[in-house]
Structure 1
Amino acid sequence: MLFHYHFWTPHVEETERFYTNNGFRIYQRIGKYQGDFQNFDPPLVWDDFREKDILFRIIEARKGCINVTFGYGKKSIFDHIGFWVNEKEQEFICQNAVNLNWNVDRGERRTFITTPYSFRIELQTNKDLVDSVTDNIKIGELRLEIMKKGLEGDLSILFGKPVNSIKSIIGETVTIREAVIKDFSSNPLVDPNGVRILN
C-alpha cells in the first residue's frame, strides 16, 4: 500500500504549517544544530527554535495511514515514495528490482530501490510509521511528472501486478503533481512544494 512521500525543500516551516493546518500532526523533527543532529520534536513549536540556525534533516507529519516527510534543501526536490509490504513481498520486489538492474539498498529499518526515473521507492515493513493502519485517510493516488516513458509498466514488473496508485505524465522535471488523499480538504489545495492535493 502506498503510504508515503518525501521532499527536500527550502520551505520547511511553510510545509509543516500546510500539513498541520490540514489535520496532520508532527511526529518528529530532526535537525543539525551546532554540528550535531538533535531532536526538536513537539511539544516544541517553531517559536522555540526559529532563531537557531538549524538544518532540518527530517520533519515527519502523520495523518491516518499517511506519512509525509520533508527536510531542508536549496530547492524543492521530490526524493521518494513509500509502500508498505510484508517481508515476503519485500523479497519478491527486491528480486524483481535486481532483475530490472535497479539498485537495491537494504537497511535495518527500510529498503530503498533506485529507479531510472530519478526518484526512489522505499519499501517499509514496519507499521509504526503511521497513526493508524486501518484508517480511511490514505493516499489514493499520486500523479507524478517524470521525464521518460515506461514507469507504469516497470512498476507492474517490480511489484508483480499493476500499481494503480501511481500515474505519470511526461514533462520537464520529476515531481509529484497531484496527490489524491481520501478525507482531505473538500477544496483542492497546493502545498509549498507544488503538490496539488485533491480529495
Structure 2
Amino acid sequence: MLFHYHHWTPYVEQTESFYARLGFRVSQRIGKYNGSYQSFDPPLNWDDFRGRPIIFRIIEMRRGAVNITFGQGKRVMFDHIGYLVDESRLERICHRAETAGLRIQRGEKRTFISTSHSFRVELQTHQEAVDEIDSSFRLQSLSIETTADGLEQEINQLLHPNPSGVQSLITHRHALHSARIPAPAFKEAVDPNGVRLISDGS
C-alpha cells in the first residue's frame, strides 16, 4: 500500500502548518540542538522553541493511512516514497531490485531501494507507521517528475502484481509533482515544497 513521501526543505515550519490545516497531526519532531538529537514532540508547539537554532532531522505527520515526513534542507529536495508491505512481499521486491541491479539498504524496520530516477522507495513492514490502516483517507497515487522515460515501468516491475500508484511526467527536473487523496476532505492546494494535493473535494 502506497502511504508515504518525504522531502528535505528549508520550509519546515511552513510545511507543518500546511498539513496541520488539512487535518494531519504531528506524531514526532526530532532535531539536532546543542550538538545532540532531541525530541520536540507535541504537546510542544513552535512557540515553545522557535527561537532556538534547531536543525530538524525529521518531522512526521499522519492522517488516516497517510504518513508524510520532512526534514531541514538548504533547498527543496524530494527524497523518497513509501509502501507498507509484509515480510514475504518485502523479500520478493528486494529480489527483483537485486536482479535489476538497484541498490538496496536494509534496516530493522525499513528497507530502501534506490531507483534509477534520483529518488528512493521505502518498504515499511510495521503497520503502526500509519494511524488507520483501513482509513478512507489514503494516498491513491503520486505523480513524479523525472527527466527520463522508464520510471513507471521500473516501479511497476518492483511492485508487481500490485499497482504502484506512481505516474510519471517527463520534465527538466526530479520532483514530486502531485499527490491524490480521494477522500473529499479538502480543496486542491499546493504545499510549501510545490506538491499539489488533489482530492475529490477539489
Given the two structures, how large is their TM-score scaled by the length of structure 1?
A: 0.97
Following superposition, the deviation at residue 173 of structure 1 comes to 1.0
Is there any run of 5+ residues in structure 2 with no aligned partner, and where?
A: none
Q: Identical aligned pairs, as a percentage?
A: 48
Following superposition, the deviation at residue 186 of structure 1 comes to 3.8
Question: For 2:64 and 2:182, how far apart are their aligned partners in 1?
Answer: 10
Question: For 1:87 and 1:116, how far apart are their aligned partners in 2?
Answer: 24
Is there any run of 5+ residues in structure 1 with no aligned partner, and where?
A: none
- Matched with 1:10 is 10
Local SS of the residue matching 2:92: helix
Query: Alpha-carbon deviations, 1:52-98, whole Å to 9, x = none?
Result: 00000000000000000000000000000000111000000000000
- Structure 1 pair 119/40, CA: closer, same or farther in 2 (3 Å)? same
Q: Are positions 1:121 and 2:110 aligned together?
A: no
Question: For 1:161 and 1:84, how far apart are their aligned partners in 2?
Answer: 15
- Matched with 2:163 is 163
In the alignment, residue 137 of structure 2 is paired with which amino acid?
I
Of 31-40 and 177-186, more deviation after overlay is shown by 177-186
Question: For 2:135 and 2:99, how far apart are their aligned partners in 1?
Answer: 35
**Is the CA contact 2:2–2:164 (under 8 Å) kept in the aligned structure 1?**
no
Q: Are positions 1:134 and 2:134 aligned together?
A: yes
In the alignment, residue 16 of structure 1 is paired with which amino acid?
E
- Matched with 1:34 is 34
**Is the CA contact 1:155–1:163 (under 8 Å) kept in the aligned structure 2?**
no
Question: For 2:162 and 2:26, how far apart are their aligned partners in 1?
Answer: 32
Q: Are positions 1:104 and 2:93 aligned together?
A: no
1:1-199 mapped onto 2 (5 Å cutoff): 1-161=1-161, 163-183=163-183, 185-199=185-199
- Structure 1 pair 5/184, CA: closer, same or farther in 2 (3 Å)? farther
- Structure 1 pair 60/184, CA: closer, same or farther in 2 (3 Å)? farther
- Structure 1 pair 131/162, CA: closer, same or farther in 2 (3 Å)? closer
Question: For 1:164 and 1:131, how far apart are their aligned partners in 2?
Answer: 21
Residues matched between the structures, number: 199
Question: For 2:157 and 2:62, how far apart are their aligned partners in 1?
Answer: 30
Computed over aligned residues only, the root mean square deviation of the Cα atoms, in angstroms, reads 1.0
Following superposition, the deviation at residue 51 of structure 1 comes to 0.4
Question: For 2:186 and 2:47, how far apart are their aligned partners in 1?
Answer: 30
Question: For 1:72 and 1:195, how far apart are their aligned partners in 2?
Answer: 17
**Is the CA contact 2:103–2:114 (under 8 Å) kept in the aligned structure 1?**
yes
Local SS of the residue matching 2:140: strand
Question: For 1:157 and 1:59, how far apart are their aligned partners in 2?
Answer: 31
Following superposition, the deviation at residue 156 of structure 1 comes to 2.2
Following superposition, the deviation at residue 162 of structure 1 comes to 5.9
Following superposition, the deviation at residue 164 of structure 1 comes to 4.7
Given the two structures, how large is their TM-score scaled by the length of structure 2?
A: 0.96
Local SS of the residue matching 2:135: coil
Query: 4+ runs of 1 displaced by more than 4 Å?
Result: none
Question: For 1:112 and 1:120, how far apart are their aligned partners in 2?
Answer: 6
